[in-house]
Structure 1
């Protein structure tokens, strides 16, 4: 990026391909007349028969993958660039925009497949996708260059539902809105699946943050996620299809139809602009702030791009920030300046004062908070396949400060409590480890991973696990054989991966590796990375043997303090 200065500005007086064709035909006709009159030399000297080159003789071709919501605006901007001879270093910029589902394109980048290499630039709807790609060191590299537009996330409702909640004069926090729409079947709330929709994920993150500041916030956040999961759609486009076909008709009472949606302002704008019923959606903007879809512009595999391609991409991005580009984006319902939000845009999207449509969250969510919200969603809504690996070294007999219980007592009770919350469809197994528990191996498989509802020899998997959890005891003089056990458990979990479930290895330990004959930490991390596959994800999660929060984490993905990372006791892939 640093090696490129900004490319050319638009050429003044430039015309589109059709105007250029007419201009060339007129020049040719004039030249013929002059030639007949014997004035060919004068025509050449006067430039009517130009032997110079047009910027279109050798244009820079740029292919952009864009989120479906912003792709139409970018296509209009590409047409503008062609019609007005927008150039980069004297070459016209020929931009081709393809709408690509953001989740699917991010997955293609992370796997290096799916046609990701066919594009020079990418405009997803949110930076959360760019962050996830950047966090994966095996993905096709992307280089963020800036943001081209924004759109706040709120809750859109059909008019009758909005009226019952006092729109537009009554304002709500995210928690209030979630409570109003998830505690009663009278007001059904739909959302894009947060694992595939940035709109849904940012809203869930905001909800989790807000709930976390209240009493029993963890439980409230999980309950909200569970309620949303009942009416989630794969994408924002699909969730719009869950609205009643006639917003004021009898179908609004159809239990299969949603009356409220977590939606971006731009999506509500586009829906209202195209709606035939005459009854537009109304939009609530939470008073504790609406997170933003920020639409980053990123170069795809910049080291492989030519200088011309990199500079042309930057030129097109700067065009989107100029008056013409901003006008195009605003015509499609996007914000281009948070300090001057067009009232007409907000009104068209279904917003109206005193709804706090300019309010932003106190602080933007961090990447960690977004990932925690995604983990909460995944664990809450999917059946689980967990390989539970428990430390049985002698230090697990040490007391937990402030209690009369040992670390193993607390761990055992938490596991039993968590087990009661899983369904018969969940799959769980149990390993324990210390040093040399099974010959030279530091671990022993007590209960192979299986479906809790399955029966073998007259007893269920749940019963076998309950008995095994209850029987966990520290090994006298046992040390912590952490590294070899971690690798073995991860290999087993990835080899038995089950599609459609939340697959994970959950490691409960109170200390660092104490086996001098084990593999090194660097080798362990290297082998874990080799085994990890983005298309078959198996998180490896280490939890400290801390308190009853263990059971909450196991079921809901809640945070739990962990051993000192600098001492090499925690890994995550």
Structure 2
């Protein structure tokens, strides 16, 4: 669209020129508009659906000047003529066969998401298939680095490095025009796709009539012969036109429209939460009972808990941030004082180099393996005070855009005569919880001795989750997968 806007001629009577910026995300544009600080007067998102989602998140409302300036669709690009998928939900669920970018940033991936949601809304595919596909994409995007661009993906398909790529017809058309790529073929599952419609919004509250004149100039150009030609050269379909004038990647397709706002809202929120970076504080029980030998092994509960937790930490990508505390009661601190908990490693990026060339991941491993040697056999458990302190710590170091979670692993219950009660703990967290910046709580009960009734009461009352871990395998599975489960549950609850 930026390429098209650059071709709009200057009206000699009005002398309006356009300064086009393509660096702002929908969230940034809407946030600025809501605060009245927007320097952009007009906004063209790739989809009215994306705009609706962004406006709901920003709690602001903009009125479109034009419902659609142009159109494009999602396509699956391969090196063969054979269609790989019958439904978009199948393509979403097969991350090995069809690669794509992040739908929060990438138009082709977003259109594929909207296509899958529309299929489920129409009863053409199952909700389970959609959840499987979107969950897969959420938990794998950005794990190996920055999400690929559509152009990168097409290059990989052409070189035979990946089987297929999901992009827009516009990107595919431009790629072939610029790079050749005649061996590449584009199809749409079921010969259908959601339509990206490029609406035009006014974001400025200024009464300056020049802004409205510029908006009219844009709309009029898109509908003109020159504008339609410019759109075609950019690989975009003029509004209402069933196919690109030169034949393009595809002919006409069946438009897919989502008719169930709840499916859209739930799916998008679930993806956003599950794909978010992790900002977590892990708190390990260092009370005397954690020295209890585990039957059939030569290790204690603490040994196996640390082993499992640290093994789980290896699964977290560089985008995540994790810190580590231990807790008991009357722990000796470096300054000579005592406390119920000790801050071993502050929350930092997993691959951040901290000291002597060591990364945060390495420091977490070193700190975790040293805990067993510092436990006293009669040390009690100050669970309530520690959990509240951890909750407040993460609130203070809240990371916008991340899943902020306190993860506590314990084999017992609160045993601290001077601590706050369970009721006080719950009421305090409830009062201090910020719905706009929520901190989730994940409690893991180690062994059959853990008071799961108490942990589940605390978790359910504070918007968290509690899981029993009766074996080392349970600990690792919950530690590595529980956060995704929490995110999915929170997304489900938020849309019910």
> TM-score w.r.t. structure 2 length?
0.58
Which residue of 226, 242, 248 maps to 1:348? 248
Which residue of 257, 279, 284 maps to 2:187? 284
SS state of the match for residue 301, structure 1? Answer: coil
Which residue of 44, 67, 74 maps to 1:153? 74
8 Å CA contact retained: 2:119, 2:258: no
Q: Per-residue CA shift, 1:418-450, capped at 9, x if unaligned?
A: 997542656255799xxxxxxxxxx97687666
8 Å CA contact retained: 1:151, 1:293: yes
Q: Are 1:322 and 2:243 an aligned pair?
A: no
Q: In the TM superposition, what is the alpha-carbon distance from 1:181 to its structure 2 partner?
A: 6.0
Q: Distance in 2 between matches of 1:75 and 1:457?
A: 56
Question: Aligned residues, how many?
Answer: 391
SS state of the match for residue 17, structure 2? Answer: strand
Q: In the TM superposition, what is the alpha-carbon distance from 1:263 to its structure 2 partner?
A: 0.5
8 Å CA contact retained: 2:101, 2:147: yes
Q: Per-residue CA shift, 1:117-145, capped at 9, x if unaligned?
A: 44311212234654465346599x85543
Q: Are 1:459 and 2:369 an aligned pair?
A: yes
> TM-score w.r.t. structure 1 length?
0.52
Q: Are 1:560 and 2:489 an aligned pair?
A: yes
Higher mean C-alpha deviation, range 550-559 or range 268-277? 550-559
Q: Distance in 2 between matches of 1:362 and 1:457?
A: 50
| Structure 1: gaps of 5 or more residues | 1-69, 86-90, 184-188, 391-415, 433-442, 465-470, 476-480, 533-537
Q: Per-residue CA shift, 1:148-189, capped at 9, x if unaligned?
A: 2221112122xxx323xx14xx75222433566616xxxxx4
Aligned to 2:170: 266
1:524–1:459 CA distance, 2 compared to 1 (3 A)? closer
8 Å CA contact retained: 1:326, 1:336: yes
Q: Distance in 2 between matches of 1:360 and 1:300?
A: 28
8 Å CA contact retained: 1:299, 1:313: no
1:74–1:267 CA distance, 2 compared to 1 (3 A)? same
Q: Per-residue CA shift, 1:349-369, capped at 9, x if unaligned?
A: 2x25xxx72241554762442
Aligned to 2:404: 504
Q: Are 1:370 and 2:268 an aligned pair?
A: yes
Q: Are 1:107 and 2:28 an aligned pair?
A: yes
Q: Report the structure number with the largest CA radius of gyration.
A: 1
Aligned to 1:387: 281
Q: Distance in 1 between matches of 2:100 and 2:215?
A: 34
Aligned to 2:210: 309
Aligned to 2:152: 239
The within-5 A match list for 1:194-205 is: 194-204=103-113
Q: Distance in 2 between matches of 1:108 and 1:94?
A: 22
Q: Per-residue CA shift, 1:246-270, capped at 9, x if unaligned?
A: x4xxxx24x4xx4532111111122
| Structure 2: gaps of 5 or more residues | 285-306, 328-338, 348-359, 374-379, 409-421, 442-461, 469-476
Q: In the TM superposition, what is the alpha-carbon distance from 1:190 to its structure 2 partner?
A: 3.9
SS state of the match for residue 4, structure 2? Answer: helix
Aligned to 2:237: 335
Q: Distance in 1 between matches of 2:273 and 2:203?
A: 27
8 Å CA contact retained: 1:543, 1:562: no
8 Å CA contact retained: 2:326, 2:342: yes
Q: Distance in 2 between matches of 1:207 and 1:419?
A: 37
1:550–1:472 CA distance, 2 compared to 1 (3 A)? farther
Q: Are 1:71 and 2:6 an aligned pair?
A: no
Q: Distance in 2 between matches of 1:473 and 1:209?
A: 50
Aligned to 1:96: 18
Q: In the TM superposition, what is the alpha-carbon distance from 1:71 to its structure 2 partner?
A: 0.8
When the two chains are superposed, the root-mean-square deviation of aligned CA atoms in Å is: 5.5
